[in-house]
Amino acid sequence: MTDITGDADGERSPRVLLLYYSYTGQSQKVLEAAGDVFQQRGYEVHHAQIEFTDQRYAERFSRFPMRRVWPDMLSVLPAQKRGETGQICTPDTVRDNDYDLICIGSPTWWETVSLPMRSFLKSDEAAKLLRDRHFAVFVVCRQYWQENLMAVRELAEQQGGRYVDEIHFTYPGDSVRSLLSLTSYLGSGEYREKYLGVRIPSTNVQREHLGETRKFAGALADRLFGK
């Protein structure tokens, strides 16, 4: 945990931005659960979904389920491994306000922060948004949360952001089964009991994750802005 001293200016309610990239909606669900808590406290809550518009990948990631799950997933692997950035589009909420807290929702792609989120965090827009602002990181993934969290934290701090806390969620099952379950879902859009003849665990964010997120958001709000 990080010590927090600043808060909103006292003249108005705290203003929070929910900033995320979310291909299947898992990070979005988690951030919205946190957003509900902030809203119930009377805070101003804004949403900013990053759109992945890069011509090299946009088509594959604009449809769900994936048309060809392995080629589609693998299409971003080289760029992920090189830490590349690409073209994205952000809504006006990113530019229109000063925020007291920025909640960053970051799914893992190939063990680290996704290309769209990395692209945002390296942008001039991110520097303007994050400078001297508190941010918290929400990682959602099948298994590999740590490298993603570290990368988001480092990139946001390089832009002048002040890290306050994190929460992460992973999906059940061993490596092979959780991967089969995820790819089954990404390729079909359905929750199935078996894939390639193997019984598979559940995938994606579960109800208990949302409960944990609400508790986390409440505690974060207490620390930052008082009860």
Ligand X SMILES: Cc1cc2nc3c(=O)[nH]c(=O)nc-3n(C[C@H](O)[C@H](O)[C@H](O)COP(=O)(O)O)c2cc1C
> What is the Cα–Cα distance from 98 to 50, expressed in whole angstroms?
18
Choose the stretch contacting ligand X; rule: CB under 6 A; options: 1-9, 85-93, 102-110, 191-199: 102-110
Q: Scanning residues 200 to 219, which ones bind ligand X (CB under 6 A)? A: 204
Choose the stretch contacting ligand X; rule: CB under 6 A; options: 20-28, 42-50, 52-60, 94-102: 20-28
How far CA 80 is from CA of 54, 117, 160, 206, in Å, comes to: 14, 11, 24, 27
**118 binds ligand X, rule: CB under 6 A:** no
> In whole angstroms, how close is the CB of 115 to ligand X at the nearest point?
9
> In whole angstroms, how close is the CB of 204 to ligand X at the nearest point?
6
- Residue choice 8, 19, 22, 33 for contact with ligand X (CB under 6 A): 22
In 3D, which of 180, 111, 113, 101 has the Cα closest to residue 153? 113
**25 binds ligand X, rule: CB under 6 A:** yes
- If the CB atoms of residues 8 and 140 are measured against ligand X, the closer one turns out to be 140
Strands (E), 21-133: 44-49, 51-52, 88-89, 101-109, 112-113
| 149 contact partners, CB below 8 Å, separation of at least 6 | 106, 137, 139, 166, 168
| CA angle (16, 141, 17) in 5-degree steps | 10
- If the CB atoms of residues 153 and 209 are measured against ligand X, the closer one turns out to be 209
Site residues for ligand X per CB under 6 A: 22-27, 73, 76, 107-111, 140-144, 182, 204
